[in-house]
Amino acid sequence: MKFSLLTATAALATVLSGGSATGAQTVPLKYPATAHGAQSDDLNGILVADPYRWLETVGSGEVRNWIASENALTESYLARTPRRNEVLSVVAKAWSYPTLSAPFAAGDRLFFFENSGADQQAPLYTRERPGAVPRLAVDPMAFSKDGLAAITETSASPGGKYLAYSVSTQGSGWRHVHVRDVKAGQDLADDLEDVRGSELPWTRDDRGFFYTRIDQPRGGTSFLAPDGRQRVFYHRAGRPQGDDRLMYENPDHSNWWLDASLTDDGQYLIISARNGTEAANRVYFVDLDNASRPNLGAPLVKLFDAADALYDVAANSGQIFFVRTTKNAPRGRLVAVDINTPDENHWTNVLRETYDPLVEVRRVDDRFVARRVHDAHSTLDLYSLDGGDRGSVTLPGVGTVGELASGGDNREFYFIFSSYLQAPTVYRYDLDTRVVVVHREIVPDSALSQFETTQLFFTSADGTRVPMFITARRGITLDGTHPTLLTGYGAFNRDETPSFSPAGAAWLELGGILATANVRGGGEYGRAWHDAAVGAKKHVSIDDFISAAEFLVSQRYTRSSSLAITGKGAGGLLAAGAMTRRPELFGAVLIDAGILDMTRFSRFTVGSGWIPEFGSPDRLADLRALLGYSPLQNLRPGTRYPATLLTVGDHDDIVTPTHSYKFTATLQSLQSMHPADQPWPPALLRVEADAGSGAPSPRSKQIARDADRLAFLIDALHMLR
- Three-class HEC string of 434-487: CEEEECCCCCCCHHHHHEEEEEEEEECCCCCEEEEEEEEECCCCCCCCCCEEEE
Tell how far CA 224 is from the center of its chain. 19
* Side chain identity at residue 705, one-letter code: R
Angle at alpha carbon of residue 259, lines to 258 and 265, rounded to 5°: 145
Q: What was the pLDDT predicted at 226?
A: 84
pLDDT for residue 8 is more than 60: no
At a CB cut-off of 8 Å and minimum separation 6, what does 431 contact? 364, 365, 367, 382, 411, 412, 413
Of the listed ranges 364-378, 427-441, 448-462, 578-592, the least confidently predicted one is 427-441
pLDDT tens digits, residue range 385-397?
999 999 999 999 9
b/e map 623-652, b = 16+ CB within 10 Å: bebbbbbbbbbbbeeeeebbbbbbbbbbbb
Pairing mode of beta strands 99-100, 109-115? antiparallel
Q: What was the pLDDT predicted at 628?
A: 97
Decide: 75 and 7 in contact? Cβ < 8 Å: yes
Mean pLDDT of the chain: 92
Q: What was the pLDDT predicted at 15?
A: 33
Decide: 84 and 78 in contact? Cβ < 8 Å: yes
Pairwise CA distance, residues 331 & 353, whole Å: 6
pLDDT for residue 9 is more than 60: no
% of the chain beyond a pLDDT of 70: 93
Q: What was the pLDDT predicted at 711?
A: 97
pLDDT tens digits, residue range 606-661?
999 999 999 999 999 999 999 999 999 999 999 999 999 999 999 999 999 999 99
pLDDT for residue 24 is more than 90: no
Please tell me the total number of residues recorded for the chain in this structure: 721
Pairwise CA distance, residues 198 & 171, whole Å: 16
Beta bridge partners of 691: none
Pairwise CA distance, residues 319 & 355, whole Å: 30
DSSP-H helix ranges across 510-592: 527-531, 539-554, 570-581
To the question of pTM greater than 0.75 for the whole model, the response is yes
b/e map 244-263, b = 16+ CB within 10 Å: beebbbeeeeebbbbbbebb
3-class state of residue 237 by DSSP: coil
pLDDT tens digits, residue range 203-232?
999 999 999 999 877 654 456 788 889 999
Q: How confident is the model at residue 10 (pLDDT cuts 50, 70, 90)?
A: very low
Number of helices followed by number of strands (H, E) in the chain? 11, 39
Q: What was the pLDDT predicted at 132?
A: 86
* Side chain identity at residue 105, one-letter code: A
DSSP 398: S
pLDDT tens digits, residue range 27-80?
678 999 999 999 999 999 999 999 999 999 998 999 999 999 999 999 999 999
Pairwise CA distance, residues 153 & 157, whole Å: 14
Which whole number is the average pLDDT over 451-469?
98
Which whole number is the average pLDDT over 674-690?
86
Decide: 111 and 129 in contact? Cβ < 8 Å: no
pLDDT tens digits, residue range 302-351?
999 999 999 999 999 999 999 999 999 999 999 999 999 999 999 999 99
Q: What was the pLDDT predicted at 264?
A: 92
Q: How confident is the model at residue 6 (pLDDT cuts 50, 70, 90)?
A: very low
Q: What was the pLDDT predicted at 441?
A: 72
